[in-house]
């Protein structure tokens, strides 16, 4: 783990593990937006994202969703199963916000019922263009059956996460997940964090996610910390 990272992304570093078939994922304090045009370092941010990701991977796994998560080695580092990642961003939207409002005539906050699933091709140099089933098949990324399975899985994850957030007084507006393959089956990978979800406080409508950073809406770290406080009771030892 002291060796060179296998892969250095914009917010996480991935290292080889001593154990075959496992990887070490370290959540860094870097935060970026707008294809990396805006970037900063927020000390402690990686810890908040790592603990929330670990919490939700465990939560989903208990409810029958296969995830890559194995265990935490420290508060910002997790051991995961190595996956052959599918280069797609699977986005589930319960309310219209962000790019879907810029691109289509939805109003900000409009309820999307049933939820809308969108897939983007994960390629920063091409600005992650939206993709469709025919293109996914033509590129050889997935079969039609696999696309259908991912869509069903994403909606089930949405149901489970939305329910949990609702109980904490938070609306899960939308989120992005990534899947990979392992021994022929589809497994949820990457992260589930305040960088990858849009979360609105049900009472105040305040953003509790990366939009605070994108649009300079206030103190990003304190927003992330409040999510940890509300999502993982006892994480801060009971002190508020
Ligand atoms: N279980 C896994 N096995 C293999 N690769 C994984 C696994 N989970 C996540 N990854 C990959 O590790 C990388 C994590 O890095 P990070 O999220 O910082 O960067 P990125 O996704 O390349 O860029 P972006 O900042 O656009 O998300 C991603 O490429 C992600 O697809
Ligand atoms: Mg990423």
Cα–Cα distance, 100 to 54 (Å, whole number): 28
Model pLDDT for residues 47-101, shown as the tens digit of each residue: 999 999 999 999 999 999 999 999 999 999 999 999 999 999 999 999 999 999 9
For the chain, give the mean pLDDT.
96
Q: What is the pLDDT of residue 20?
A: 96
Distance from the CA of 5 to the center of ligand 1, in angstroms? 12
Token pair for 125: 């140099």
Token pair for 145: 């059956």
If one counts every other C-beta atom within 10 angstroms of the C-beta of residue 126, the result is 9
Q: What is the pLDDT of residue 2?
A: 55
Q: Which residue minimizes the CA distance to atom 26 of ligand 1?
A: 10
User: Stretch 132-138: mean pLDDT, rounded?
Assistant: 98
Q: Which domains does the chain have, with CATH numbers?
A: 7-83 (3.30.200.20), 84-218 (3.30.470.20)
Ligand 1 atom nearest to 12, measured from its CA: 18
If one counts every other C-beta atom within 10 angstroms of the C-beta of residue 187, the result is 20
- What is the DSSP secondary-structure string of 37-86? TEEEE-TTHHHHHHHHHHHHHHHHHHTT--BSEEEEEETTEEEEE--EE-
Enter the DSSP assignment of 4. -
- The rounded Cα 199 to chain-centroid distance in angstroms is 12
If one counts every other C-beta atom within 10 angstroms of the C-beta of residue 132, the result is 12
> Is it the case that residue 136 has pLDDT exceeding 60?
yes
């Amino acid at each position: 783990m002291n060796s060179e990272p296998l892969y250095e992304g914009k917010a996480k570093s991935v290292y080889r593990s001593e154990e075959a078939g496992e990887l070490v994922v370290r959540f860094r304090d870097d935060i970026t937006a707008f294809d990396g045009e805006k970037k900063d370092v927020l000390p402690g941010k990686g810890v908040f994202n790592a603990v929330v990701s670990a919490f939700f991977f465990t939560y989903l796994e208990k409810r029958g969703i296969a995830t890559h998560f194995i265990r935490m080695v420290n508060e910002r580092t997790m051991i995961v199963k190595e996956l052959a990642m599918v280069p797609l961003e699977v986005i589930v939207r319960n309310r219209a916000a962000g790019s879907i409002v810029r691109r289509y005539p939805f109003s900000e906050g409009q309820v999307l019922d049933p939820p809308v699933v969108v897939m983007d091709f994960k390629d920063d140099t091409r600005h992650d263009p939206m993709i469709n089933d025919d293109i996914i098949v033509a590129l050889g990324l997935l079969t039609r059956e696999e696309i259908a399975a991912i869509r069903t899985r994403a909606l089930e994850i949405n149901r489970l996460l939305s329910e949990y957030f609702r109980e904490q007084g938070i609306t899960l507006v939308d989120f992005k997940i990534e899947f990979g393959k392992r021994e022929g089956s589809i497994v949820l990978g990457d992260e589930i964090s305040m960088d990858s979800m849009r979360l609105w406080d049900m009472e105040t409508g305040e953003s509790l996610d990366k939009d605070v950073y994108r649009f300079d809406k206030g103190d990003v770290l304190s927003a992330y910390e409040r999510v940890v406080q509300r999502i993982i009771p006892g994480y801060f030892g009971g002190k508020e």
